[in-house]
Amino acid sequence: MVTHKIKQLEAAKAHLARLQTSITKQLQKELAGLPAAYGFSTPEEFFHAVTAAVGGKRKGRGPAAGPKPAAGKKRRKRAVITDATRAAVKKLAEAGKSGAEIAREVGISLPSVQNVKKALGLVKARK
């Protein structure tokens, strides 16, 4: 019944916790032995050797720093949407230009064009 399944679930959770503890202890033990396994007397020497092997100094780009920007590409500055920009978008939209064409001519991004058109009521609501 349900109580039997609940007991099985609790037993599985306890087993999982024991496995996790066991893995953590084993991993710590293996990591602590790495410097000696590679002939280093201290973890600091090992760390410096590994750092040198992967290219020297870190430049602050770890996994949490996110992806690197594409080479040669600069990040665009944030566009300031003025009344003149809105008027230009409205004029071009009414002339039948596509969003991409408007973005190129006015010098703003396509999402900015879409936001301006939405604010001006130039797009149909989705159904």
Q: Residue 38 falls within a domain, yes or no? A: yes
Q: Do residues 13 and 49 share a domain?
A: yes
Q: Residue 67 falls within a domain, yes or no? A: no
Q: Could you tell me the residue range of the domain that residue 16 belongs to?
A: 2-56
Q: Mean pLDDT in each 10-residue stretch from start to end of the chain (127 residues)?
A: 91 95 94 90 89 72 56 74 92 93 92 92 79
Q: Residue 17 falls within a domain, yes or no? A: yes
In this prediction, residue 75 carries a pLDDT of 73
In this prediction, residue 17 carries a pLDDT of 95
80 CB-near residues (< 8 Å, 6+ apart): none
The total of structural domains in the chain comes to 2
Q: Do residues 93 and 50 share a domain?
A: no
pTM of the model: 0.41
In this prediction, residue 123 carries a pLDDT of 84
Q: Residue 70 falls within a domain, yes or no? A: no
Backbone angles phi, psi at 70, to 5 degrees: -60, 140
* End-to-end Cα distance, the chain: 47
Measured in whole angstroms, how far is the alpha carbon of residue 26 from the centre of its chain?
A: 31
